[in-house]
Homo-oligomer: A and B are copies of this chain.
Amino acid sequence: MTLTDHSGRTSAPHDRRLIVAPVVPTESALVPLGVGELRLQGGFWADLQRVNAAGTIPHIEHWLEREGWLGNFDRAAAGTLPEGRRGREFSDSEVYKYLEAVAWELGRRPDEALEARFRAVVDRIAAAQEPDGYLNTRFGRPGQEPRWSQLEWGHELYCAGHLFQAAVARERSQPGADDGLLEIAVRMADLVCDTFGDDGIRSVCGHAEVETALVELARVTGEHRYLEQARLFVERRGHGVLEDIEWGRSYFQDDIPIREAEVMRGHAVRANYLASGAADVASEQGDAELQSVLRRQWQNTIARRTYVTGGQGSHHQDEGFGEDFELPSDRAYSETCAGIASIQFSWRLLLAEPDAAYADLIERTLYNVVATSPSPDGRAFYYANTLHQRVPGAAADPDEASPRASASLRAPWFDVSCCPPNVARTLASLESYFATRSDSGVQLHQYAPASLRTRLANGEEVALSVQTAFPAEGTITVVIDSDAEKEWTLGLRVPSWADEALLTVVPADGGATEVRTVRPGSTGVTRAFRRGDTVTLELPVAPRFLHPDPRIDGIRGSLAVSRGAEVFALESVDLPEGIADVADVVLDPSSSPSEEGGEVFVTVRRRTVDDAAFPYTTESGARTDEPFRVRLVRYHDWAERGPSTMRIWLPTL
């Protein structure tokens, strides 16, 4: 344990408290780079960040007001609750996630008007906090259920967690902003510790989230008590401390203590938030056993319970993981928030234990879940990310919240609207997941045009720029912008989808060019880099077929196409005249996917099935016509041309 109390705020080694990032362990193998140390310079992700700032963040603010979820705080301050309270029990959390997104945004790019709006929201929240620090618009007032009386479904601690994360983001992005948000969070956190300590309520929240948030708050404030409370929450869960429910206690991971579980299960967002909190606790406590347990759970979950998109959760009923290899495309839930939560978990493991596999999954999930959710204007979202759309959906009303998580087209808002602000806070802090430093160098985990400037433990200042058209093209060129006195290592991830890549080092001084073949995993170049040195990684990005594990029933006899980490889909709007539905074609498995002008094509045949009175017959009644080529769409771009049917996995029979 290296945290100290408030009086010793400078104890963190190497000024980690100055890092403007969502996750800053006190000690870790890799050190995150904050907003400001790495800047995205155009390209796929910078574009999404721009749309997030210009479109999504104002859009969320609009809906929070319109739905009255911000107004709930005003009513709390005015003492008029519960009358007129709007939204579900967790609606406060959406306000906090909005604040977190804005805090990261302001950390990258000061904006007076946005700053003023941020402060105005904080003031409204402050007015709603009760004298003892309690803050939640849904519980505890006359006419409301008592505080902490609904741990299974009340989301009080969950909301508190998002409050803490917003305060952490603000404190890291604009230290000393003096808007009162950190104090609000600290007062609530103190109350949580007073209430849920060893002498208090020995239970947990039905939705994990406060665990990771308490650790972050401990890191920012140096308050050890918050970490200890997080540890208590992590260790308590799994012992049946919550009431059983229809879907079983696995829904909120209260079925098996975290140290005994082999795989993630139950509600996919809850499972990943819990795992993230546990990873944070393990990191702060140097708990190698817990770290190892989490790695095993992560590995088993990726090997058996994850979609090709990186998405997780195959049950609509409980928004949960199914059993091993239960991964139906058409009923994929793959909630956007679960993808975000999975990135959070993978990232924490990566910081503790450098392994390219974690960054591989982050990349896959970023491209195929996080980037899929928002519409091009950032004002409509997928909540669930199906891999197979059977029936063209109706266009969502841009002026109406969708009652359904499984809206077939992106919707502007949801009655349960966790995903839009979760996308916003993720994209607003996105660069913090792209690179790290260590004592001996910097590591590039994700590839995008960027400039990077940081200082290593040895005092060496390192600057570089990444020049690439990735993911459209596979060449990544790193140009060094600093002169080193000592050797350091430029770490590069060779993604698992690249069988073999080419690494070229061209010294600026005209020295010998070094060329070598590298295999998936972590690679690197160690030298006393000089300004102008270039390191080029050439990744093979030709489109390829993927075969599924034969234990996955829904996609047996089917192939998917990926190009890099981007997964492709066949969308019915790309079918020729006369073929209305993706169900009416089968893939020609003897063909190969091809690329032309940045587009990817496959060869398919139209299939005709004799309509039978009963669809199970002693002989198969399907016929196919002549093959033809059809364009695929990048999955993250699907459903942008109106209602359509779509499938990622293309049947060969």
Which A positions have Cβ atoms within 8 angstroms of B?
244-248, 299, 302-304, 306, 308, 315-317, 322-326, 328-331, 357, 360, 388, 390-391, 403-405, 415, 496, 499, 544-558, 560, 562, 583, 586, 607, 609, 611-622, 651, 653
Contacts and interface: CB of A to CB of B under 8 A. Distances in A.
A501 to B, nearest CB: 15
Nearest to A547: B620
A100 to B, nearest CB: 27
B616 A560 contact: yes
B403 A245 contact: yes
A563 to B, nearest CB: 12
24 contacts: A246-B403, A304-B615, A306-B614, A306-B615, A308-B616, A315-B317, A316-B317, A323-B391, A496-B614, A499-B618, A546-B616, A548-B616, A549-B609, A550-B607, A550-B609, A550-B620, A550-B622, A551-B583, A551-B609, A551-B615, A556-B558, A557-B557, A560-B616, A562-B616
Contacts of A550: 586, 607, 609, 620, 622, 651, 653
Contact of A548 (B331, B391, B415, B615): B615
Given A303-B612, A304-B615, A553-B555, A326 B316 contact: no
A390 B607 contact: no
Closest A-B pairs by Cβ, 4 of them? A549-B615, A557-B557, A317-B317, A547-B620
Given A403-B244, A556-B653, A651-B550, A615 B303 contact: yes
A525 to B, nearest CB: 26
Contacts of A607: 550
Contacts of A620: 547, 550
A300 to B, nearest CB: 10
A555 B615 CA distance: 12
Contacts of A651: 550, 553, 556
A91 B136 CA distance: 36
A323 B406 CA distance: 14
A329 B496 CA distance: 32
Contact of A611 (B247, B303, B616): B303
A308 B303 CA distance: 31
B316 A613 contact: no
Contacts of A323: 330, 390-391
Contacts of A552: 615
Given A316-B315, A404-B247, A554-B554, A612 B388 contact: no
B613 A303 contact: yes
A553 B329 contact: yes
A613 B306 CA distance: 11
Contacts of A248: 404
Nearest to A357: B613
A6 B607 CA distance: 60
B556 A612 contact: no
A553 B618 contact: no
Nearest to A556: B557
Contacts of A615: 303-304, 306, 325, 548-549, 551-552
A21 B553 CA distance: 43
A556 B620 CA distance: 11
A308 B390 CA distance: 21
A553 B551 contact: no
Contacts of A621: 549
A497 to B, nearest CB: 9
A564 B180 CA distance: 75
Nearest to A310: B614
Contacts of A405: 246
